[in-house]
């Protein structure tokens, strides 16, 4: 498929996802947050689900976790606009707490229902390498229970033939209270992204 056609199909998939009722998460979210980036992007980043800011803006990784991802990409000189960025689940799942909306982890059924859209993105973008950001994304992509620490640092393969590497979700770094620990976790995250970029280049 040529890239113009794939781009048109990707836009059509995003418009279709805006009407999705495959799981209950569409009911309370503001809007769907589909992936962003060019068809043929060598790297595809897959997070868990949109956060509060992403839900309001309708774009992936534009909140605090997105800033960590941007900082890591900047460290290795990788332009975010050249990558495809998305989430395993496209609607924000949360628990209202007063005026706040607290992140709630999507369950297995929701992740499986939303795999429909992730598969469309994978088929149309055709990345060389996929980076799973956190355990929910890794579980969605591998379709099995995973222990993140056991998979980290390995080059895995998806059923579609793409390479996969697994790393932490940037929000896990943000949640660390100890500054040294947070600094080390960020360095490890940058190393994982550098490894991914190297593998994508060689693929």
Name the DSSP letter for residue 135: H
Nearer to ligand SF4, 18 or 156 (CB): 18
Of 156, 85, 181, nearest to 127 by C-alpha is 85
Least separation in angstroms between CB 115 and ligand SF4: 8
Binding site for ligand SF4 (CB under 6 A): 17, 20-23, 25-26, 32, 89-91, 110, 113-114, 117
Nearer to ligand SF4, 3 or 31 (CB): 31
d(CA 106, CA 100): 18
Least separation in angstroms between CB 109 and ligand SF4: 9
Burial of 152 (0-12, 13-18, 19+ CB in 10 A): middle
CA separation, residue 100 to residues 5, 89, 93, 95, 97 (Å): 41, 21, 13, 8, 5
Burial of 30 (0-12, 13-18, 19+ CB in 10 A): middle
Nearer to ligand SF4, 82 or 102 (CB): 102
Least separation in angstroms between CB 195 and ligand SF4: 29
Least separation in angstroms between CB 164 and ligand SF4: 21
Least separation in angstroms between CB 57 and ligand SF4: 16
d(CA 189, CA 113): 29
Nearer to ligand SF4, 2 or 21 (CB): 21
Nearer to ligand SF4, 90 or 128 (CB): 90
């Amino acid at each position: 498929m040529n890239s113009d056609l794939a781009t048109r199909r990707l836009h059509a998939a995003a418009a279709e996802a805006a009407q999705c009722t495959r799981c209950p998460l569409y009911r309370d979210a503001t809007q769907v947050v589909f992936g962003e980036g060019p068809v043929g992007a060598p790297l595809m980043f897959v997070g868990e689900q949109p956060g509060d800011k992403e839900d309001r803006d309708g774009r992936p990784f534009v909140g605090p976790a997105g800033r960590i991802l941007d900082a890591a990409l900047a460290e290795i000189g990788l332009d975010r606009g050249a990558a495809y960025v998305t989430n395993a689940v496209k609607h924000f799942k949360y628990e209202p707490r007063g005026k706040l909306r607290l992140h709630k982890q999507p369950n297995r059924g929701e992740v499986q229902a939303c795999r429909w859209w992730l598969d469309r993105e994978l088929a149309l973008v055709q990345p060389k390498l996929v980076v799973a950001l956190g355990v929910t994304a890794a579980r969605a992509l591998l379709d099995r229970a995973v222990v993140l620490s056991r998979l980290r640092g390995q080059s895995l393969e998806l059923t579609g033939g793409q390479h996969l590497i697994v790393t932490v979700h940037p929000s896990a770094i943000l949640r660390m209270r100890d500054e040294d620990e947070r600094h080390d976790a960020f360095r490890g995250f940058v190393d994982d992204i550098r490894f991914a970029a190297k593998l994508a280049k060689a693929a």
